[in-house]
Structure 1
Amino acid sequence: MRSITIVAGIVLAFSPLLVSAQGRMGFALGTHLPNASCKLESDYEADMIAIKKNSGSNLVRMYSSADCECVPKVLAAAKAQGFQVLLGVWPDDKVSMTLDKYAVQTGIDGYLDQVFGVSVGSETMYRKTFTGPQLLEAINDVRAVLPKGVKVGTADSWNKFADGTADAVIKGGVDFLLANGFAYWQAQPITNATRTFFDDIQQALAHIQTVSGSLNAIEFWVGETGWPTDGGTNYGAAIASTKNAQTYYDDAICGILAYGVNTFVFEAFDEPQKPAAIGDSGAEGDERHWGVMTSDRTPKFPLTC
């Protein structure tokens, strides 16, 4: 294991909450090639081979299951390569909800061992698309069409789990919750990024455990975290660079994994075809250079923790 710089005060906050085993790591994965065409099964296999070879991980996270008809292709690739996949349903409007739900319902037959679970929504409470009760209704709607035993949950910004917005979801019987945390999008300098990230995730986890009344009734994950590399845009004091991305990976991502927190890294590969993202201040930020590997699957720095 590489040397990890730990922020002492924040780590102490995790200590009574978590087991000592290493957390599991996964990677966010897109559905398109750099030329914007849809990935084929062989492309997903190549992605998975690169991820496992360079990081040891065998888990990826998807978003919209209807996008590029990805479910049968990515699950077939996962079966061939010994991976699991967190599938996604985008419930923000009736059309996407219907299409994604159908894609999952019809696409997982024969691949249940490859399905890690289904995440219904990605930051829907953060964007104020849904209230907690409305999101829970969407989650239960999706759960109703899935085989028994398939885990169902949601992903949202860490602060929506910490401030009570998600309490109905926490109390509603979900199997897992994914808290997204980006010190970069909070305009933090790299020198304070790990502290900020650890503090954010600790707040989310502590509130989930308090509301659920259990330390482990709900499986907890960091749903997304990462840092942009060379070619990305700066965001306030957060400077995009491969050097800073490596520091964040070593200290924040490997650090929180070492304390038993399961974590999805955003993201596996650069996506040069993507549009700009919008940060907390409303300013645009580049999302084309967030990969820990280039779009041709070359690692930018060592990825084993």
Structure 2
Amino acid sequence: MRFPSAIAALASVIGCVSAIGSLGFDLGVQRNNDAGCKVTSDYISDFSTIGGDASVVRVYAASDCSTLANILPAIQQSNFKLFVGVWPTDDAHYAAEKAALSAYLPTIDSSYIIAVTVGSEALYRGDLSASDLASRIDEVRTLVHGISGYENTPVGTVDSWNVLVDGANAEVIQTADIVIANAFSYWQGQTMANSSHSFFDDIMQALQVIQTTKGSTDITFWVGETGWPTDGGSFENAVPSVDNAAQFWQESVCGIRAWGINTLVFEAFDESWKPVTSGIQGVETHWGVWTNDDTSPKYSLNCAFA
């Protein structure tokens, strides 16, 4: 990692910052009490809790749990905006995703949809080649832009920062209207002393490569996932705790937004429906900023610029 001048280099990439970056959350679509699928009233409750400084959420798939059918009425009622995910692997699943877009996007004004994202770390996991992912982005864009009112809706992808800076994946960046980067200092095993430096450096590298590949600095960019777990097992030097999550929020989430970078935090709520063995000693069940049943966050979400 190239930590020392990350913030100065980031400033040179994004230029003079004139606005605070927007805040949003990655959102699960299953209830924690019974692992059942959320319905519209569940999403309305989620949005009421999230509220405040955030009015954007991202979901990972359109058809799973009838997500679009249930979330779009809540989006409109709560005046939130949405990143719609499309899962591009497995032909049957992919067909169901496209069918959901065709059925439900026409039911809501396109102003509520920030973008449609094809794949979530599909390159990082090796689910699709760059060429195959680019092809599916093209297919989904054709579908979305064929829906009345959605002719200009961005269609792109979300992936880990390190695969986005890999020149082998430039075709995806060139094809996508919007490219969103994930970066987790926890999964790099960073100490808290290094966590924000690592995060800024990762995002700076991704943004530089995206801008260079696109040949323009006039692009819409978001951090797609970042955060810090509040419990579970340590990964190398990275230790989950509420205090560490609070520090990461202030130094990294607030810090990157202060530089004008839009940020989605992983994730809004703990997902206790996941197996307790998931991740390292159950760490995957403790990424939420809120617990399963508490309307107050685990730590302060106030930023100095608020």
1:200: Cα distance to partner? 0.7
CA contact (8 A) 1:234 1:285 kept: no
Alpha-carbon distance, 1:110 to partner: 2.5
| Counterpart code for 1:201 | I
Name the counterpart of 1:15. 11
Paired residue for 1:122? 120
Residues 72, 108 of structure 1: 8 Å contact kept: no
What does 1:187-198 align with in structure 2 at a 5 Å threshold?
Answer: 187-198=189-200
Tell me the CA shift for residue 80 of structure 1.
Answer: 0.4
Structure 2 gap segments, 5+ residues each: none
The one of 84, 109, 133 equivalent to 1:135 is: 133
User: TM-score normalised to the size of structure 1?
Assistant: 0.91
- Name the structure 1 match of 2:227: 226
Matched, 1:262 2:255: no
CA displacement, residues 189-244 of structure 1 (integer Å, 9 cap, x when unaligned): 1111101111111111111111111112x321111000000x32211110000000
Q: Which residue pairs with 2:79 in the alignment?
A: 82
Q: Residue 29 and residue 17 in structure 1: after superposition, are their counterparts in 2 closer, same or farther (change >3 A)?
A: same
Equivalences for 1:97-108 in 2 at 5 Å? 97-108=94-105
Q: Which amino acid aligns with 1:68?
A: C
Which of 156, 163, 168 does residue 153 from structure 1 map onto? 156
Aligned-pair CA distance for 1:113: 2.3
Q: Partner of 1:179 in structure 2?
A: 181
- C-alpha distance in structure 1 between counterparts of 2:198 and 2:288, whole Å: 21
Shift of 1:181: 0.2
Q: Which amino acid aligns with 2:181?
A: A
The answer for the alignment partner of 2:244 in structure 1 is 244
Distance in 1 (alpha carbons) for counterparts of 2:122 and 2:65:
22
Counterpart Cα distance in 1 of 2:190 and 2:226: 14
Identity score, percent: 41
| Aligned mates of 1:123, 1:161 — CA distance in 2 | 10
CA distance in 2, matches of 1:285, 1:141: 37
Aligned amino acid, residue 219 of structure 1:
T
| Unaligned 5+ runs, structure 1 | 1-6
Cα–Cα, structure 1 residues 270 and 176, in superposed 2: closer, same or farther, change >3 Å?
Answer: same
> 1:286: how far off?
2.0
For the pair 1:57 / 2:57, whether they are aligned, the reply is: no
Q: How does 1:272-291 map to 2 (within 5 A)?
A: 272-275=272-275, 286-291=283-288
What aligned pairs does 1:282-301 form with structure 2 within 5 A after superposition? 286-296=283-293, 297-301=295-299
TM superposition shift of 1:82: 0.7
- Cα deviations by residue, 1:257-296 (Å, 9 ceiling, x for unpaired): 1001111000011110124555xxxx67621110011111
| Contact 2:278–2:285 (8 Å) recurs in 1 | no
More displaced, 238-247 or 17-26?
17-26
**Counterpart AA for 1:202:** M
Aligned residue pairs, count: 290
- Asked whether the equivalents of residues 14 and 202 of structure 1 are also in contact (C-alpha less than 8 Å), the reply is yes
Structure 2 partner of 1:165? 168
Per-residue deviation at 1:144? 1.4
User: In structure 2, how many angstroms separate the alpha carbons of the residues matched to 1:188 and 1:285?
Assistant: 19
Distance (Å, rounded) in 1 between the aligned partners of 2:291 and 2:77: 23
Amino acid at match of 2:49: A
Match of 1:303?
A: 301
Report the AA paired with residue 36 of structure 2.
S
Looking at secondary structure, tell me which structure has more helix per residue: 2
Counterpart Cα distance in 2 of 1:29 and 1:152: 19
What is the rounded CA distance, in whole Å, between the counterparts of 2:282 and 2:11 in structure 1? 34
Residue 29 of structure 1: aligned partner: 27
Distance across 2 between alignment mates of 1:291 and 1:67: 21
> Matches of 1:124 and 1:284 in 2, distance apart?
25
Q: 1:205 to 1:89 in 2, by over 3 A?
A: same
Letter in 1 for 2:190: Q
Corresponding residue of 1:92: 89
Q: How does 1:59-74 map to 2 (within 5 A)?
A: 59-74=56-71
Do 1:45 and 1:81's aligned partners in 2 also have CA atoms closer than 8 Å? yes
Partner letter of residue 110 of structure 1?
T
State the secondary structure of the residue aligned to 1:117: strand
Equivalent AA in structure 1 for residue 90 of structure 2: D
> SS at the partner of 1:165?
helix
1:3 is matched with none
